[in-house]
Amino acid sequence: MVAALATGLMLTAGPVAQADTVETAIPVGASPFGVAITPDGARAYVTNLSDHTVSVIDTGTNTVIGNPIRVGNTPSGVAITPDGARAYVANLRDDNVSVIDIGTNAVIGNPITVGDLPLVVAITPDGAHAYVTNREDDTVSVIDTATDTVTTTIDVGDRPIGVAITPDGTRAYVTNYNDRTVSVIDTATNTVTGTIDSGRNAEGVAITPDGARAYVANYFDGSVSVIDTGTNAVIGNPITVGSYPSRVAITPDGARAYVTSRDDDRVSVIDTTTLDVTETIDVGDLPIGVAITPDGARAYVTNAGSDTNAGGGTVSVIAIEWEPTVTMTLPAGVVGQPYEYTFTVAGQPTPTSVTAGTLPDGLTLNENVLSGTPTTAGQFEFTFTATNGIGDDATVPVVLEITDTPSGTPSTGSLGSLGFSGS
């Protein structure tokens, strides 16, 4: 703490507590399967297997907007381009991919013919290519999104299901259900450069935002394997989750992985630091797809079951809640000079902030902003607390020095206050 005071270093808190809840279930079409969220977080696109349609959810109101979009036969996977302009939908029984213009919510052009029983779609970070797993012919089709044509077909393992692309766009990871393996594709050459033994019947796969790890759902093992993408080796023991895990999504901060489990109608939440399941969340009948909003505040889960009394035919919306944290590195103030500093506060729901102790004369705290013009020199001690009802409050001790230094003299040499991030 002395070092932090002297140098302005920030101290990092451990994992924060969470208490996720399902805030609503949205009726969509029959057998909702895949889900993808636009980069601005405003809409969720849901494929309805039995309706041959795509439903569009307004995530601000959590209601379906417009009429369902008719696509091909048995739509399964869906992915959205990074610019938010188009959605690519794999039509399982038509062996093709439909392209939706998100601006008009209409299908554009002709379907793109791919391999046999296309299931999942992933798009490169630059938006230039879409990778589609073809379950029955053991291939991956690569679509050039500028021309909407297949440029190459890659042989992978037996019955490919999931596909995810690293944040730098250099590799695609493909799960092979019958092989119990994951194929690694070099996207520059579109060749398989490695094969990783995973768990039994690998299905969904997701990659952390830093690209360091891939999380693979092993369907019949009831587990999730974690792959170190630097070495392409499985690390640690498989993580036991619910029965028949299907898909995986990771929060934008990389802190948690959400795994759907078909048989027990739950979502398991994995702490990616400890690799432990921290909670399970009851959702609807036969959960399959899962996607998380860009702000990390909600997870959308498709419930593909036919039992509407048990939540089938819906999308469960999970409020992702976590306890507050505070990060700060306050500078010193100077008598007679305007002062303003904003505390960095995080948490879901949005925390409220209070102080206790003595603020410097002339300064006030409004929400997270400390501002005003100091009138008295001295060292002032107070605490800053952020609270949102989840876990522990984040209470931080503050020591703020106000000096008599003339206005023309820089004040950056002062000790300032303790920089701390804690809960």
For each successive 10 residues of the chain (423 residues), what is the average pLDDT?
26 55 95 98 97 97 97 98 98 98 97 98 98 97 98 98 98 96 98 94 97 97 97 96 97 95 95 95 97 96 91 94 88 94 89 89 92 95 90 90 69 35 38
- Quickly tell me which residue has 């029955």 as its tokens: 136
What is the predicted pLDDT for the residue at 11?
A: 33
User: What confidence tens digit (pLDDT) does each residue in 119-158 have?
Assistant: 999 999 999 999 999 999 999 999 999 999 999 999 999 9
Q: Please report the pLDDT score of residue 417 as a whole number.
A: 34
Would you give the DSSP letter of residue 4? H
All residues at 6 or more sequence positions from 174 whose CB lies less than 8 Å from its CB, including other chains:
131, 133, 140, 156, 157, 160, 162, 163, 182, 183, 184, 185, 205
Residue 231 CA to residue 12 CA, distance in Å, equals: 28
Note the pLDDT of residue 264.
92
Q: What is the dihedral of CA 28, 31, 36, 42, to 10 degrees?
A: 0
For the record, the structure tokens of 30 come out as 């029959």
Full-model pTM:
0.84
Residue 290, both tokens: 């899962």
Three-state secondary structure call for residue 211: coil
**How far, in Å, CA of 248 to CA of 260, rounded?**
7
Predicted confidence at residue 415, as pLDDT, reads 32
Q: Which pair of tokens denotes residue 338? A: 């305007």
Identify residue 77 by its one-letter amino acid code: G
* 246 to 163, 203, 216, 222, 241: CA distances (angstroms): 13, 6, 9, 9, 11
CA dist 74 and 285 (Å) reads 19
